[in-house]
Structure 1
Amino acid sequence: MPHLELLGRVASLPVVRFGPPGAFLGLRRDAPDPQRAPVILLPGAEVPEGTQVGDELDVFVTLDSEDRPLATLARPRLALGQVAFLEVTDATRIGAFVDWGLPKELLVPHALQTAELRVGNRYAVGLVLDDTGRLAGTMRVAELLRDRRTYAVGEWVAGEAWRNEPGLGLFVIVEKRQVGLVPASEPHGLARGEAARFRVSHVHADGKIELSLRGLAHEELDRDAAHVLERLRVAALRVGDGSSPEVIRRHFGLSKKAFKRAVGRLLRDQSVTLDPEGLLVPARRPADP
């Protein structure tokens, strides 16, 4: 059926007629008789005021409570083949229901779960068609995250923190369709499922991408230098060029490389000095006693 090709996707469809339930949208642009072509219902409560026959509307195609095709102007948090973190609202004998942004919640059947889903928690869920042709959620998301869209180094992308791998770093779900890596050398402080903007820092030959939460070095330098100086002033920290990366990360949330760049700026500006032990000392401000 034509609607199955659009199920779980956003489509631009023409209004072919109106009826008591709402507007009927055509599913076949090449139909010789639009009035007899397959249609899908957009409920009357969602039809924009002033809509006329022939107007095109961008709709998401889903199923109603009786599994009939239905159009909606609402946008769920993910489309077919995408992955996003969704909150569990109910756990039943047939599976768990998650909030995906539409009135009819999305079912994650037991067969598509890889762990017990607890109400109130958020999990990475993908949108798929099950064996019966219905939309369903799945926790088996690895197959859905193999997209290799071409990104440019320096491009900023939206992502959600997925999982930490010791020695490797933080894996991130990028734009709901592929995986990127924030290397372990960069501190991030993100919780699982937390959304953030990431800069593409490297693109491998196979299309895999490395990410950073930080901008380019020259864009970050002023901010990092100000942060280091403020921390030195308020916390009386005993740190210097010889401090370990772990100590620097704990006190400043910076990699040692970023810390050294910031300190170099502060030394040139005479905002800090070094004591005989090589520790950083903030310069006195005019108002200091």
Structure 2
Amino acid sequence: MNVKIGEYNVLKVIKEKPMGVFLDDGDIGILLPKRYVPRDTRIGDELNVFVYHDNEARIIATTERPFGVLGDIVKLKAVSTTDFGAFLDWGIMKNLFIPKSQIQNIIRPNGEYLVKIVIDELTGRLAASEKLEQFLSNEELTVKEKDLVTLLIYRRTNIGYEVIINNVHKGLLHYNDVFEDLEIGDKIGGFIKNILPDNKIDVGKGEIGYERVENQTEKILRLLQENKGFLPYHDKSSPEKIYSFFGISKKTFKMAIGSLYKERKIELTKDGIQLL
């Protein structure tokens, strides 16, 4: 059986012991400690567990959910430092180690750092690396224009946020496409806006096209119903006010209310929009 370290696995319970249950790995079994065993678990049940190495380098399972799995780039808080590296709060009982060789900045306890979860070449265990550039490349793209993607805010530039796309590529989210403050390490949904000849990528926040508008029309109708059929927002409202209330850009707002108006679901007044 192929058990994937650093990932979620669905494994069958094969035996019960005082310290917990053992899960089928095609060999002697993987321990799921008693504190993590769901109530009423029986032999033959299948459990979705995260598999990793404990402090003794033994493979072990947990039903806790870490902040990231193998291959993810996540922002983690430092718990402690040593001469050999640092330990990061990973969201599970065992902290994630980042070797000194993979530290790019000075790591201090309680500081938050962007890292990629990897398999350490020396120990074969899960570890973190702060040297992200080695894992990012735009030479061979795995995305195309209009694809929906996951964006991780990487750093700020003069014209926008540099983002990591699907943990693989780098792109740019222009400031004029964003109506909120984003923090380094934030994960948001987005889409591929443009791919330039040198494989540089411009991205947008949210969804694209009519799928995006259709989702927002439903949201606007719900908000109208929750506010006695009237909202004091219109095409003269500021982009900041629209984003603050609806969570969308003014352009998307205008497209959505235009669609609702054509469907005769709303009336446009000088003071806002009225549900019909």
Which TM-score bucket, shorter chain as reference?
A: 0.5 to 0.7
**Structure 2 partner of 1:195:** 187
Q: Which runs of 5+ in 1 are unaligned?
A: 29-36, 235-253, 266-283
Mapping 1:212-251, distance limit 5 Å: 212-213=204-205, 216=208, 219=213, 226=233, 229-231=236-238
Shift of 1:106: 0.8
1:217–1:27 Cα change, 3 Å: closer
**Structure 1 partner of 2:110:** 120
| Bigger shift: residues 100-109 or 179-188 | 179-188
CA distance in 2, matches of 1:207, 1:54: 50
SS at match of 2:134: helix
SS at match of 1:6: coil
**Structure 2 partner of 1:49:** 39
Shift of 1:150: 4.2
1:151–1:79 Cα change, 3 Å: farther
Which structure has the larger Rg over C-alpha atoms? 1
AA of the residue aligned to 1:229: K
1:8–1:121 Cα change, 3 Å: same
1:54–1:119 Cα change, 3 Å: same
User: What is the alpha-carbon root mean square deviation over aligned residues?
Assistant: 3.8
Percent of paired sites with the same residue? 29
**Structure 2 partner of 1:238:** none
Q: Which runs of 5+ in 2 are unaligned?
A: 221-231, 242-248, 259-269, 272-276
CA distance in 2, matches of 1:87, 1:143: 22
CA distance in 2, matches of 1:227, 1:116: 49
Correspondence for 2:20 among 22, 28, 46: 22
**Structure 2 partner of 1:276:** none
Contact 1:81–1:177 at 8 Å: present in 2 too? no
Normalising by structure 1, we get a TM-score of 0.65
CA distance in 2, matches of 1:135, 1:104: 11
Aligned length: 231
1:216–1:48 Cα change, 3 Å: closer
Correspondence for 2:146 among 153, 158, 167: 153
Q: Runs of 4+ in structure 1 displaced over 6 angstroms?
A: 204-208, 220-223
